[in-house]
Amino acid sequence: MALGTWVDFGRLDDLGQLDTAAHRIDARAKAFTTLAFIVTVMSFARHEVSALTPYVLYPITLMSLGRIPAGYLFRKVLVAAPFALAIAIFNPCFDRQPAAAIGTFTISGGWLSFASIMVRFALTVSAALVLVACTGMHRLCAGLEWLGLPRVFAMQLLFVHRYLFVIAAEGARMMRSLQLRAASPYRLSLHVYGALVGSLLLRSMDRAGRIYGAMLARGFDGNIRVLNRQAWRWSDAAFAAGWCLFFVVARMWNLADAVGRLLPTGGAS
């Protein structure tokens, strides 16, 4: 599979234009709820694993309501997985104290913390991606500004997201040009790589100046404008309050352990 298929985040904007039950929820409600979700998930102790599993309901529910393809979301999570893996991979080496047992098999604290980091990474990244896919970056940044995020930060976040695609397209054109001009299969040496990066930087600066001039010519004044500004409804408040209540309950009690105790166990009668 081509690399572009894995790192193409532009489709998130296309998914954000859909009209589904998840997309019709106010951007402020979804942003606030997702922030509460991330804070709650990250507040668990480093050895907690089973207590985190109920939180998978939030991204799965939004993904289902918003008709977000599960395979696309999974590939995007895998793109960022090496960063979490680099943080967690050494935990089993440094923490070898027994922390749990499954039958005769003993699990060290390092492996539990490794699993906890990877589960929290998958939950938080998938929730953030689903938020963008069910809202659209433009409406999301406007919603963050309405929630109190300084306008300059909301605008910078929107610009970073939007113009990453511009830089990526410019880099792709440069690579295609290099491939067409190469007389034989080539290796991207450090010298060629440095020249490409330098040229990309110069082209990006020139493109930024032209884009800014075009924006000023069209009346840009530093505000994020939304064509269809959503009005806060009771259903939006119920969405945020209901999920936040669930997050608090799942944080206070291990719901997975409670459900496990309720399930019938096999054995002789």
pTM above 0.85, yes or no: no
Distance of CA 188 to CAs 179, 193, 201, Å? 10, 6, 18
Whether 219 is in a domain gets the answer yes
In whole angstroms, what is the distance from residue 88 CA to residue 251 CA? 23
**Domain co-membership, 132 together with 100:** yes
**Domain co-membership, 247 together with 116:** yes
**Domain co-membership, 143 together with 154:** no
In whole angstroms, what is the distance from residue 65 CA to residue 87 CA? 33
Residue span of the structural domain in which 54 resides = 1-149+230-260
Q: What is the CA radius of gyration of the chain?
A: 23
Whether 267 is in a domain gets the answer no
- Is the C-alpha dihedral spanning 70, 72, 74, 76 positive or negative? negative
Whether 266 is in a domain gets the answer no
Whether 133 is in a domain gets the answer yes
**Domain co-membership, 234 together with 136:** yes
* Domain count within the chain: 2
- Any idea which residue has 């998130």 for tokens? 12
Whether 60 is in a domain gets the answer yes
In whole angstroms, what is the distance from residue 66 CA to residue 62 CA? 6
> How many C-beta atoms lie closer than 10 Å to residue 138's C-beta?
19
The three-point CA angle 204-207-210 to 5° equals 155
- DSSP for 99-122 reads EEEETTEEEEHHHHHHHHHHHHHH
**Domain co-membership, 18 together with 121:** yes
pLDDT tens profile 228-264:
666 788 999 999 999 999 999 999 998 888 777 777 6
State how far Cα 180 lies from the chain centre.
35
| Exposed e or buried b per residue across 168-201, where buried means at least 16 C-beta atoms within 10 angstroms of its C-beta | eeebeebeeeeeeeeeeeeeeeeeeeeeeeeebe
pLDDT tens profile 152-193:
888 888 888 777 777 777 777 888 887 777 666 666 677 777
**Domain co-membership, 245 together with 134:** yes
Encoding tokens for residue 251? 């944080």
> pLDDT by residue for the chain (269 residues), tens digit each?
444 444 565 677 788 888 899 989 998 999 999 999 999 999 998 888 889 999 999 999 999 999 999 888 888 888 888 888 888 888 888 877 776 767 677 777 888 888 999 999 999 999 999 999 998 888 888 888 888 888 888 888 888 877 777 777 777 788 888 777 766 666 667 777 788 888 888 888 888 888 888 888 888 777 776 666 667 889 999 999 999 999 999 999 988 887 777 776 554 44
> How many C-beta atoms lie closer than 10 Å to residue 100's C-beta?
14
In whole angstroms, what is the distance from residue 102 CA to residue 109 CA? 13
**Domain co-membership, 39 together with 141:** yes
**Domain co-membership, 18 together with 130:** yes
**Domain co-membership, 125 together with 240:** yes
Single-letter amino acid, residue 227? L
Q: Three-state SS for 98?
A: strand
Encoding tokens for residue 34? 């997702």
φ, ψ for residue 196 (rounded to 5)?
Answer: -65, -45
Encoding tokens for residue 212? 């800014």
**Domain co-membership, 121 together with 249:** yes
**Domain co-membership, 14 together with 119:** yes
In whole angstroms, what is the distance from residue 230 CA to residue 61 CA? 21
In whole angstroms, what is the distance from residue 134 CA to residue 15 CA? 7
Encoding tokens for residue 201? 């930087």
**Domain co-membership, 67 together with 157:** no
Encoding tokens for residue 266? 């096999």
